[in-house]
Structure 1
Amino acid sequence: MSLKSVTKYDTVIFHWLYDLTRHRDCRAIVWLSKTGDGYLYFFIGLLLMAFEPEHGEIFLYTALMAYGLELPIYVVLKKAFKRTRPCDFFNNFQAHVTPSDKFSLPSGHTAAAWLMATIIAFYYPSFAFVAYTWATLIGLSRILLGVHYPTDVIAGVLLGITIAQLSLTLLV
């Protein structure tokens, strides 16, 4: 499959998903997306460190190291690809939210959510389904809100999982 056909399908899938939210109240999707802003991750880590003696402390350290690795890689990738966001590319198109930065590839919200879900699944396997479902919904929300293409989200998933696995390998 050529890059041109990937881009074509990426755009078609983006429009199909985004059109599901056109002219609708998106407050629930915006709220869901905001759970991926990062504050919740730190709060979860602190709670686990304070109240879960078996894995809480190492969970927090793993997450902090992972985010410390993920953030600069994410920034370098954004600046290297310089992919225009859908809301900045298509004429007469308005996203439901203002993007947090200029470029779209990879999705930082998705990368962070999948990073956290992977670490949660490692230390707390009984919560894996919930964590991965939540991370998937974070990625989907970014498309529905009009700020990312599906391939941005896929790249975010790969980045998040890769950095989480690297961090777990280094600390465990």
Structure 2
Amino acid sequence: MAGVESAVPGASAGPELAVDGASNPDIDLLYDINGLTKSTPDWLDRAIGFVGEYGLLIALVVLVLWCWASVRRRPEPEVSVAGLVWAPLAAGIAVLINIPIRGFVERPRPFVDHSGLELLVDGKSDFSFVSDHATLAMALGVGLFVANRKFGLIGIALALVEGFCRVFMGVHYPTDVVGGFALGTATTLLLAPLAMALLTPVVTAVSRSRAGFLVRARRVPLPHPAVDLPEPRVADDATDTGSGRNDLAA
């Protein structure tokens, strides 16, 4: 794929977080990671572009649903299910918080101010800091961790891969991704006590209602084991005959 060879003339850089130059580690790392595209085949670049734009977020949603199906089978799943409800809510809140942050910082996308980058997706005309994708992914991953540690660790790992993909694709600086991770984590953890205090009673009430299957998996009653009934006693012919004689004699 052809790289972006020049910056947009006259574009305002705004309050840049990274100063252009070889000594800037943010820009150096941007070129190092995005430069990997020069040695990868086009089909792999297209695959990473799709995964970084859509695939990993879809995978995180599937992971949340998988975790929900798993925790519903526990004896007391209300707290875990409340944590799963909080995960997407926290992600949405974090993205809303990012709207004024982007408007205040006004950092252009890296391909606007730096030449020679390989751009794997088109149509990115908004500001760069903070990365919405990194924010969403990490908020979902940390929210999963609040509900279930095993699934949460998988979710956080997927979020880290998402951050790498965004830099590889040429649409974000590394600091955009780190800022997204920080925003998603802080939003999820700082608001978690209040959110869990509000959501847990609601989830508990739902579990006792007709919609309780959303919280607790319906248990299939086990069949009762067959009871071995005592076989009817068959009297011995000789004994019965003897008893009959005794009865007549009496």
Alignment TM class, shorter chain as reference: 0.7 to 0.9
Q: TM-score, normalised by structure 1?
A: 0.83
Q: 1:68 to 1:113 in 2, by over 3 A?
A: closer
One-letter code aligned to 1:35: G
Q: Does 1:71 align with 2:95?
A: yes
1:164 matches 2:188: yes
Tell me, yes or no, if the aligned pair for 1:18 and 1:146 is still in contact at 8 Å.
yes
User: Counterpart of 1:11?
Assistant: 27
- Secondary structure in 1 aligned to 2:175? helix
Q: 1:31 aligns with which of 34, 47, 50?
A: 50
Aligned residues: 170
Of 108-117 and 94-103, deviating more is: 94-103
Shift, 1:92, TM fit: 4.9
- Bigger mean CA offset, 133-142 vs 26-35: 26-35
Structure 2 CA distance for aligned equivalents of residues 97 and 5 of structure 1: 23
Give the equivalent residue in structure 2 for 1:153.
177
Of the structure 1 ranges 43-52 and 91-100, higher mean CA displacement relative to structure 2 is found in 43-52
Query: In 2, distance between residues paired with 1:117 and 1:50?
Result: 17
Alignment-mate amino acid for residue 146 of structure 2: F
Shift of 1:100: 4.6
For residues 3-56 of structure 1, give each alpha carbon's deviation from its aligned partner in whole angstroms, at most 9, with x where no partner exists. 65998110011001110113633133223312344x555555456556642156
CA RMSD, Structure 1 to Structure 2 (Å): 2.7
Give the equivalent residue in structure 2 for 1:20: 36
Contact 1:49 / 1:59 at 8 angstroms: preserved in 2?
no
Supply the distance in 1 between the matched residues of 2:67 and 2:51 (Cα, whole angstroms). Answer: 22
5+ unaligned residues in a row in structure 2: which ranges?
1-16, 197-250
- 1:16 and 1:41, CA in 2 relative to 1: closer, same or farther beyond 3 A? closer
SS of residue paired to 2:119: coil
Given residue 46 of structure 2, which amino acid in structure 1 is its aligned partner? Answer: R
Q: 1:155, CA displacement in angstroms?
A: 0.3
In 1, the alpha carbon distance for the partners of 2:80 and 2:133 equals 23
Higher RCO (CA < 8 A, seq sep 6+): 1
Larger radius of gyration: 2
Residue ranges of structure 1 left out of the alignment (5+ in a row) = none
- CA offset at residue 129 of structure 1? 2.8
Q: Secondary structure at the match of 1:105?
A: coil
Q: How many percent of aligned residue pairs carry the same amino acid?
A: 23
Which residue does 2:133 correspond to in 1? 109
Whichever structure has more helix as a proportion of its residues is 1
Q: Secondary structure at the match of 1:83?
A: coil
